[in-house]
Amino acid sequence: MNTTNTYRRFALSQRVEHVVMLVSFITLAVTGLPQKYAAAAWADAMIKFFGGIETARIIHRYAATVLMLVAVYHFTAVAYRVVVRRVRMTMLPTVQDARDALQTFLFNIGLAKQRPQMGRYTFEEKVEYWSLIWGTVVMIVTGFMMWNPIAAARFFPGQFIPAAKAAHGGEALLAVLAIIIWHMWSVHLRRFNKSMWTGRLTEGEMLHEHPLELADVKAGVAERPVDAPTLRKRQQAFLPAAGVFSVALLAGLYFFVTFEQTAIITLPPTPAVQVFAPQTPTPLPPTATPRPVGDLTWEGYVGTLFADKCSTCHGTAAGLSFATYNDALAGSTNGPVIVPGDAVGSTLIAVQSAGGHPGQLSADELAKVKEWIDASAP
């Protein structure tokens, strides 16, 4: 056997797709995980490296858009190969994959004499592929809910937004660990597989990893040849349908990334209000009844209410935060959301009055917050 002969595994388009996916995945990981663990020192250093939290979020969203574009292309390319070229769907899981997994386990612990012989794709490669597909779907769905919280709150209860955040971060961590532990070991360390970069494997590598496919190649049955007239006929039927479907997916992607920006700046802007704050507090009229301690103050009511209703999305210093009294009055990058003495002119009241907010206050709670703001937010 001549082990220097090489056999084609992946076309150039598939290798380019892999590189684009790789770059977008790494970018998502290095900009997303620091946001998940924002309190850690390493995460804070990485966010500062990217120029701040807002810049990190922008880069993260661009990388997410690239990932979704790759998903649209991959779906169309796979459909073309299956429908037009009639390529065998060898990536689908089968019962034989379970048998191969069991035999591999037994071989690794010394209870089987040889490794299983596998074809075009091994059971490990299928697990990685379908994990990627599943993970991409989860990240797109949860990412939409986080990217467009107002739209999501119109269809789902408000609790779905923090749930989506938890699922998004958990799936991201799982994906990164799978790449570092599973993929790096099986593809780069155990036996360096260069086929996704060169497109080819040597005969010795094929005999070790894909002996059944090598046998099909040598027998001339690995591919299904298609004559030119048949190929053109299939293309004429497939390409218009694929074009319409791809345009629909791209339109959905455009809707995804442009539907809304944030729960604050999506609302109509309110006129700026200048608040007069005297250097010395104005004394209460002598006839005023003293307010009981803890009644409608930040420490006595409002801070606890915000911690209960708003801390999931606004509990840190990143963006709009209600973690402390000073954070709440500071507002967001777009300006204050609480104007002491003017509840009507406060963006917070406008957002809550519109209804459907993920941290929606009840009518009684909203009335008390309005009263607190009109009382100069003590």
What secondary structure does DSSP assign to 178-216, as a single string? HIIIIIIIIIIISS---HHHHSEEEHHHHHHH-HHHHHH
CB-based contact 145:152 (threshold 8 Å): yes
> pTM surpassing 0.85?
no
Q: Distances in Å between the alpha carbon of 34 and those of 24, 37, 283?
A: 16, 5, 48
C-alpha–C-alpha distance, residues 342 and 328, integer Å: 15
Using the Cα atoms of residue 355, residue 340, residue 304 and residue 301 in order, give the sign of their dihedral. Answer: negative
Instruction: Encode the chain (378 residues) as per-residue pLDDT tens digits.
Output: 555 789 999 999 999 999 999 999 999 999 999 999 988 999 999 999 999 998 999 999 999 999 999 999 999 999 999 999 999 999 999 999 999 999 999 999 999 999 999 999 999 999 999 999 999 999 999 998 888 888 888 888 888 989 999 999 999 999 999 999 989 998 988 888 999 999 999 999 999 999 999 999 988 888 888 888 999 999 999 999 999 999 999 998 888 888 775 544 545 555 555 555 556 655 555 544 444 445 778 877 787 777 777 777 776 655 677 778 877 777 777 778 788 887 777 777 777 777 777 777 788 888 888 888 888 788
Instruction: For residue 7, list its beta bridge partners.
Output: 201
Taking the CA atoms of residue 147, residue 153, residue 155 and residue 157 in that order, the dihedral angle to the nearest 10 degrees is: 130
C-alpha–C-alpha distance, residues 202 and 223, integer Å: 18
Q: From 90, 134, 148, 184, select the one nearest 266 (Cα to Cα).
A: 148
**Helix crossing, 123-147 with 95-108: angle to 10°?**
110
* Alpha-helix residue ranges (DSSP H) falling in the chain: 12-36, 41-49, 53-83, 95-108, 123-147, 149-155, 160-178, 195-198, 203-209, 211-219, 228-258, 303-309, 311-314, 325-330, 347-354, 363-374
User: Largest alpha-carbon pair distance within the chain?
Assistant: 105
* Domains observed in the chain: 6-258 (1.20.950.20), 265-378 (no CATH)
- Measure the CA angle with vertex 278, ends 277 and 280; round to 5°: 135
Using the Cα atoms of residue 17, residue 19, residue 24 and residue 26 in order, give the sign of their dihedral. Answer: positive
Using the Cα atoms of residue 282, residue 288, residue 292 and residue 296 in order, give the sign of their dihedral. Answer: negative
Using the Cα atoms of residue 171, residue 173, residue 174 and residue 176 in order, give the sign of their dihedral. Answer: positive
- Residue 80 has, within 13 A of its CA and on its CB side, a CA count of 17
C-alpha–C-alpha distance, residues 295 and 350, integer Å: 23
285-294 burial, b at 16+ Cβ within 10 Å, e below that, comes to eeeeeeeeee
Burial class of residue 192 in the structure, from the number of CB atoms within 10 Å of its CB (0-12 exposed, 13-18 middle, 19+ buried): exposed
